[in-house]
Structure 1
């Protein structure tokens, strides 16, 4: 019996999705693929050799008759000119391909040369279904590359890696944990922020903020957490929440404010003296839908008209 010809699996993905793609490559290794069977630009073990012309190498690779592409689709993918060029090259050749939809990317979001009606693998689905889809994908890859499933030890190794990948996807898709160390205290319209003293305990990962309006003329003081630029539109559409733990020395009202693309969206909470978990649906903040494409700050505000002095404690801020 003739062995099937070895092919090249080309993993087309956005650089910003490299973390999840790297986990996927580990899964491919455990199917039985070798280094020479794969190309993935974000993995040093599967990247272009130093000294090679990047675009010339990619052109030659995609011109191969026996290349199979894996599209790792996401919003990041469609924002990348390089990714769209790869998609176009595969379409021109009418090459075989597989599609994976990264967390929070939907079939309706597929555009361009990829056929949205062809069944792909959506990563943020139930564990049972994802396990089944990945196992079916494993069988297709074994057939494509002439890999014969080996003994029980290697099957168990595959299953452990598959389960690890599914656990990673669950965490990746469900949570964005906010770095509490990236904070700043402000008294609005004041250069002197003496009315807002913030202390971060990196051992317990707790922020302690004391607001004292006797030390400022400001009407509003806040502690601000900077989150970069996060696209949370899909989380809004999928009814996700902003969750955190908070307590105060006394029961007071605190306004939670999100700095979106072109506006601030607010929600008021009432604190307690004990650690309390708050889980606020993003939809309750309001705001124009399009503005949720950019979240840059999460703020906790107090107002002079409501308090004179107060200390609040915050931990475990998560978008989930």
Structure 2
């Protein structure tokens, strides 16, 4: 699988990375064996970039990914995890579905973008992962904590990078405005933009992607299926974790007509679309099973004809976004 270097960090990531939320029980349970098989299949398919976070399943994602990679050559893979939420033990009981994860609510999340919070978060993540270092540390959803994130958390990440505790730093969010500010006002290596650069929505094209390209930094794209609508457009499909608006459903259905008429699944076009922009280094797949991993890799490698991209553009479905070279 092809690899791309993140900015000037020297870190190479595979074109597909395994996003760690799904294997931690996002919306519905995933067994230990299924999670292990998913991670092992990702490795067998050539994936060498794994993204996780304390938030995902209250630490379960980090523990499962750490276990799945145990014994693998450490120099061969890249791990990114996130900072900004600490996990505190809780006796409240019940489950964590309020936050999207079908796991017991053994802990509670505490927002912390202080300098001390950065170091504590990484130390605890290392313990859950069973590793001695993390490659990439990303500020996780600092939307409502912007000033503390910029004035306390970010400078500490710079120090941690200088000390060699982490190799690269950045931020991961579902919006573009603050990510663009990170690219312009700080020395981050990479940003993770979820859901804002897809076949259905290209808001990242206005400022974020040009800022990354101008400054020699990289963008990792998550949510290429917009939480399900581009994977299987039909009534009841989800978009941004809620019911898809009718207008977007119609657009997705038309996209599927065009891609299938050209001999390609819509999922293939959705997976490949972000790579039309040179600032994009990797796309995350939120697979929860071995079959979903294999499908993601197949979609990345499935040829999409030039006339499919041309038809999508001609009907205004991809806006002014650059499209990948035809396969």
User: Do the structures match in fold with TM over 0.5?
Assistant: no
Relative contact order, higher structure (CA 8 A, sep 6+)? 2
More strand by share: 1
Q: Give the structure with higher Rg (CA).
A: 1
Q: TM-score, normalised by structure 1?
A: 0.26
Q: TM-score, normalised by structure 2?
A: 0.26
